[in-house]
Chain A
Amino acid sequence: MNDMKMLWQLYWAFLRIGGLTFGGGLTMLPMLKYELVEKKNWITEEELVDCYAIGQCTPGIIAVNTATFVGYKKKGVAGGIFSTLGMVTPSLVIITLVAACLENFMDNVWLQHALMGVRGIVCALMLNTVITLARKSLVDGFCCVMCGIVLLLCLLTDIPTILIVVVSALCGIIWEKIRLRFAREERP
């Protein structure tokens, strides 16, 4: 019975986090800290930062990864599943409602004018996201070359996205190996 209560608490905590933060990823950290560290005392701040680091270096949605990790630490596999369900619920409900409304009014002329204006905004915001990302991720020569090659490949060919992700991970590992070997040879 106590177990069940804890699982529901996990569900509700992540439902609140998912339902009250916009954008996900980094913007979610303060909210996670407030709910999990300060309010519930479930994990320490260091543990949260660890969870977050794991969430960022595994594939998938960062917020979902963090939710699963925290839930698993608290209550095993069931905890991970309940936390994730909590995170998914608000998106599912809100998006379904908004999408259903929007689809009903799609033929409306005013809505079409409005969406045309929104298009420009989407482009501006997304371009800005790319620039922020590039500033953060292009830290040295290797990264710039890697980014340049992939960008050309994407624009000129139809290589599947999955293939690019896998090959670039291998490139990272091979490059580190080469670098380590050179570093060792330089030493007398």
Chain B
Amino acid sequence: MMQTALELFWEFFKIGLFAVGGGPATLPFLMELTKVKPWYTMEQLTNMIAISESTPGPLGLNMSTYAGFQTLGLFGGLVSSFGLVLPSVIIIILIARFLDNFSQNPYVKAAFYGVRPAVTALIAAAVLGLCRVSLFVEHNGKLTPAVGAVIIAVVVFGLLQVKRLKKLHPALWFLVGAVIGIVFRL
């Protein structure tokens, strides 16, 4: 268990150190973990996102705590969230103490100019992978679409393009999805 705890800490320390752009930027890293560690599956990750978006607190922190809990229970949640915030605390204190005008530094600006579109692509790829796992069910080695979930995804995505509906709270959408899931026994 101690071994897993240390690995958990190290993996989330790396996420805290390299996830540039906050919450959604942790998703590609969390997804990468499903491939290399036996801690949680992609299906569980989908549930983790839903819970993290509909509970208070920063999205990235919620997802990481959940991932830690999935791995080692309450202790795991503590370890992963500690690992995640430690680089932030160190970096921010160093910047606040030694670097004035950090966000105006031309090198920092140029680096972020390059990182931002790359992170967008990373998140896009992660979301595509997520959709593949969430909307398709593997059956005898063949992928078949989970029709109900696909219809919900397409319709809700369309609705989200309507300005008024865009502002609705994610938890409300999840509730709608859950009710539809129960009524139609998806």
Residue of A58, A81, A160, A165 ringed by the most chain B CB atoms within 10 A: A165
Picked from A61, A130, A173, the residue with its CB within 8 Å of the CB of B58 is A61
Residues of chain A with a CB closer than 8 A to B59's CB: 23-25
CA distance A81 to B47 in the complex (A): 30
B92–A61 touching, CB < 8 Å: no
A138–B130 touching, CB < 8 Å: no
Whether B143 is near chain A, meaning CB under 8 Å from some CB there, is: no
B160–A125 touching, CB < 8 Å: yes
CA distance A119 to B150 in the complex (A): 9
Contact A116/B149 with A65-B88, A168-B114 known, Cβ cut-off 8 Å: yes
Contact A133/B120 with A61-B58, A117-B149, A120-B149 known, Cβ cut-off 8 Å: yes
A115–B47 touching, CB < 8 Å: yes
Number of A-B residue pairs at CB separation under 8 A: 375
Contact A91/B121 with A54-B95, A120-B177 known, Cβ cut-off 8 Å: no
Contact A176/B118 with A23-B59, A92-B78, A162-B18 known, Cβ cut-off 8 Å: no
Per-position 1/0 for B1-26, Cβ under 8 A of A: 00000000000001011111111101
Q: How many residues on the A side are at the interface (Cβ–Cβ under 8 A)?
A: 92
Closest B residue to A61 using CB positions: B60
- The distance from the CB of A23 to the nearest CB of chain B, in whole angstroms, is 6
Residues of chain B with a CB closer than 8 A to A73's CB: 96
> What would 28 A/B residue contacts be, using CB atoms closer than 8 Å?
A22-B55, A23-B170, A28-B58, A57-B108, A58-B92, A68-B89, A80-B89, A91-B81, A92-B77, A95-B55, A113-B181, A117-B148, A117-B178, A119-B149, A119-B152, A120-B149, A120-B151, A120-B177, A124-B160, A124-B173, A125-B173, A130-B123, A130-B124, A137-B117, A143-B117, A154-B125, A154-B126, A165-B119
In the complex, besides A22-B170, A60-B85, A61-B60, 18 extra interface pairs with C-beta distance below 8 angstroms are A25-B23, A57-B112, A60-B16, A91-B62, A92-B65, A95-B77, A102-B47, A117-B176, A117-B179, A117-B186, A120-B152, A122-B53, A126-B131, A146-B117, A155-B128, A168-B118, A170-B111, A176-B113
Report which B residues bind A (CB closer than 8 A).
14, 16-24, 26-29, 32, 46-47, 49-62, 65-66, 69-70, 74, 77-78, 81-82, 84-85, 87-89, 91-93, 95-97, 102-103, 106-128, 130-131, 134-135, 146, 148-157, 160-161, 166, 169-171, 173-174, 176-182, 184-186
